[in-house]
């Protein structure tokens, strides 16, 4: 749902200009230095990107899912590391508070997240609990008015920059699986939290992940999201469901960028006396990319619009994440192929995108987990 077309057009123009004039020229620098320059972060705050999904009454732009998807497609047209910096705050980091938090929690945390003063991270994965997130073992033991947290979270995006964590921990030891999990809002400055060394990743340099170790960290009981223990897993799944449309939109944007680069190269590069774009085998690769991007974009926009209308889009969100992330991998592969040897060389940038997009098929639910979700929902509906 687009609330106001003029405002949306202006926002998309601003984001497009920001991507083209500020981010694209810095892609190589960011990859080389593994950091995002301060002036870029400042501009992200000015545009309102950290508060994109936070409702206006808490200081954000309060975009709808359709609007968010359109912004994310534009943001996708540059290195995904840029999106990652504000993406966890806009997406998985803050959505738990927004969806299930009490009014007091929203008032306390959302304005500072929306302004970019605080970055939010989402801490679900553990060394022994990845796809099987409900088996998490981080403990939250009640002690007076607090819970005391022990456990390790793994691969947490933006943990080195986080001001606050949405942390999933087992507060009800008698309840097996997902029923015993609560979601906590944890101030990252709390004593008893330490960070592992930064992970050395395949791609997306400039975006940082690391372990977060909770060793006797005290969290006030009032920081349980929604105030009621045992509902954290449901909060986490709701957050991830929405996140799947967000990630799928990014995949569409990055795929469009890679295809633009590949098309431009194919029209310039000459072999056998003509541009390689004239060869039908190269045209087939270009056409396959264009077709699959169109399919993914249509899926994302449909799921986003239906979510805005209040429909249950659990299956569609997984279809989007599954198809768009796999599509993005195929487009990256063809884009490298179209570049020939140049596609393997770092100066052309396409090999960087090839590595960067590999992550989309893994985090926020692997492709296999999306397949399981889709099939299980189909069986439930049929039964």
Ligand X SMILES: Cc1cc2nc3c(=O)[nH]c(=O)nc-3n(C[C@H](O)[C@H](O)[C@H](O)COP(=O)(O)OP(=O)(O)OC[C@H]3O[C@@H](n4cnc5c(N)ncnc54)[C@H](O)[C@@H]3O)c2cc1C
Active site residues: 364
Give the span between the Cα atoms of 309 and 150, in whole angstroms. 41
- Cβ atoms < 10 Å from Cβ of 127: 12
Give the span between the Cα atoms of 83 and 49, in whole angstroms. 9
Does residue 137 touch ligand X according to CB under 6 A?
Answer: no
User: Can you read off the two tokens belonging to residue 197?
Assistant: 């060394």
User: Can you read off the two tokens belonging to residue 150?
Assistant: 């022990």
Query: Which CB, 37 or 130, lies closer to ligand X?
Result: 130
Site string (314-353) toward ligand X, x via CB under 6 A: ----------------------------------------
Query: Which CB, 124 or 276, lies closer to ligand X?
Result: 124
Nearest-approach distance from CB 233 to ligand X, in angstroms = 12
Q: Please choose, out of 3-11, 118-126, 186-194, 271-279, the segment that lies near ligand X by the rule CB under 6 A.
A: 118-126
Does residue 156 touch ligand X according to CB under 6 A?
Answer: yes
Applying the rule CB under 6 A, the residues between 171 and 210 that interact with ligand X are: 201, 209
Burial class (CB in 10 A: 0-12, 13-18, 19+), 340: middle
Applying the rule CB under 6 A, the residues between 209 and 238 that interact with ligand X are: 209
For 84, residues 6+ apart whose C-beta sits below 8 A from its C-beta are 157, 158, 204, 206, 207
Give the span between the Cα atoms of 222 and 224, in whole angstroms. 6
Give the span between the Cα atoms of 196 and 309, in whole angstroms. 42
Does residue 366 touch ligand X according to CB under 6 A?
Answer: yes
Number of residues near ligand X (by CB under 6 A):
20
Nearest-approach distance from CB 240 to ligand X, in angstroms = 9
Does residue 155 touch ligand X according to CB under 6 A?
Answer: yes
Query: Which CB, 87 or 229, lies closer to ligand X?
Result: 87
Indicate the pairing of strand 164-170 with strand 146-157: unpaired
Nearest-approach distance from CB 163 to ligand X, in angstroms = 15
What DSSP letter does each residue of 235-253 carry, written as one string? HHHHHHHHHHHHHHHHHHH
Q: 């304005």: which residue's tokens?
A: 111
Does residue 125 touch ligand X according to CB under 6 A?
Answer: yes
Q: Please choose, out of 65-73, 169-177, 282-290, 358-366, the segment that lies near ligand X by the rule CB under 6 A.
A: 358-366
Nearest-approach distance from CB 261 to ligand X, in angstroms = 23
User: Can you read off the two tokens belonging to residue 364?
Assistant: 């926020």
Q: Please choose, out of 1-9, 184-192, 284-292, 361-369, the segment that lies near ligand X by the rule CB under 6 A.
A: 361-369
Q: 């008032």: which residue's tokens?
A: 107
Distances (CA, A) of 141 to 144, 215, 224, 228, 372: 10, 12, 12, 15, 33
Query: Which CB, 201 or 269, lies closer to ligand X?
Result: 201
- Report the residue from 123, 212, 254, 282 that binds ligand X according to the rule CB under 6 A: 123
Q: Please choose, out of 125-133, 137-145, 279-287, 292-300, the segment that lies near ligand X by the rule CB under 6 A.
A: 125-133
Query: Which CB, 159 or 289, lies closer to ligand X?
Result: 159
**Position of minimal CB gap to ligand X:** 130
The answer to whether 365 and 321 have CB atoms below 8 angstroms apart is: yes
Q: Please choose, out of 69-77, 150-158, 215-223, 245-253, the segment that lies near ligand X by the rule CB under 6 A.
A: 150-158
User: Can you read off the two tokens belonging to residue 112?
Assistant: 């500072």
Query: Which CB, 104 or 375, lies closer to ligand X?
Result: 375
DSSP code for 206: T
- Cβ atoms < 10 Å from Cβ of 200: 8
Residues that bind ligand X (CB under 6 A): 121-125, 130-131, 155-157, 201, 209, 359, 362-364, 366, 368-369, 372
């Amino acid at each position: 749902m687009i609330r106001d077309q003029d405002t949306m057009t202006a926002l998309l123009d601003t984001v497009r200009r920001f991507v083209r004039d500020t981010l694209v020229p810095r892609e190589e620098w960011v990859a080389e230095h593994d950091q995002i320059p301060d002036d870029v972060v400042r501009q992200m705050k000015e545009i309102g990107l950290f508060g994109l999904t936070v409702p206006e009454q808490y200081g954000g732009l309060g975009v709808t899912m359709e609007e968010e998807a359109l912004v994310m497609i534009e943001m996708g047209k540059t290195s995904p590391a840029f999106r990652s910096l504000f993406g966890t705050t806009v997406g998985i980091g803050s959505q738990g508070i927004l969806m299930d938090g009490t009014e007091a929690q929203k008032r306390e945390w959302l304005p500072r997240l929306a302004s970019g003063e605080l970055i939010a991270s989402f801490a679900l994965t553990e060394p022994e609990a990845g796809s099987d997130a409900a088996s998490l073992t981080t403990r939250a033991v009640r002690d007076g008015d607090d819970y005391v947290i022990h456990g390790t979270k793994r691969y947490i995006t933006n943990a080195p920059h986080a001001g606050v964590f949405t942390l999933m921990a087992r507060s009800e030891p008698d309840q097996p699986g997902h029923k015993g999990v609560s979601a906590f809002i944890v101030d990252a400055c709390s004593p008893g939290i330490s960070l592992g060394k930064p992970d050395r990743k395949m791609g997306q340099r400039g975006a940082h992940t690391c372990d977060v170790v909770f060793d006797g960290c005290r969290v006030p009981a009032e920081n349980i999201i929604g105030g009621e223990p045992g509902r954290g897993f449901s909060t986490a799944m709701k957050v991830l469901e929405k996140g799947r449309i967000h990630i799928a939109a990014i995949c569409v944007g990055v795929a469009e960028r890679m295809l633009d680069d590949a098309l431009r190269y194919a029209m310039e590069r000459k072999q056998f006396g003509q541009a390689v774009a004239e060869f039908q085998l190269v045209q087939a690769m270009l056409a396959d990319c264009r077709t699959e991007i169109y399919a993914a974009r249509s899926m994302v926009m449909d799921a986003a619009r239906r979510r805005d209308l209040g429909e249950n889009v659990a299956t569609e969100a997984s279809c989007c994440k599954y198809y768009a992330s796999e599509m993005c991998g195929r487009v990256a592969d063809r884009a490298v192929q179209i570049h020939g040897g140049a596609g393997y060389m770092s100066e052309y940038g396409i090999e960087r995108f090839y590595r960067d997009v590999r992550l989309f098929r893994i985090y926020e639910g692997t492709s296999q987990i999306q397949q399981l979700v889709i099939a299980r929902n189909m069986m439930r509906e049929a039964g």
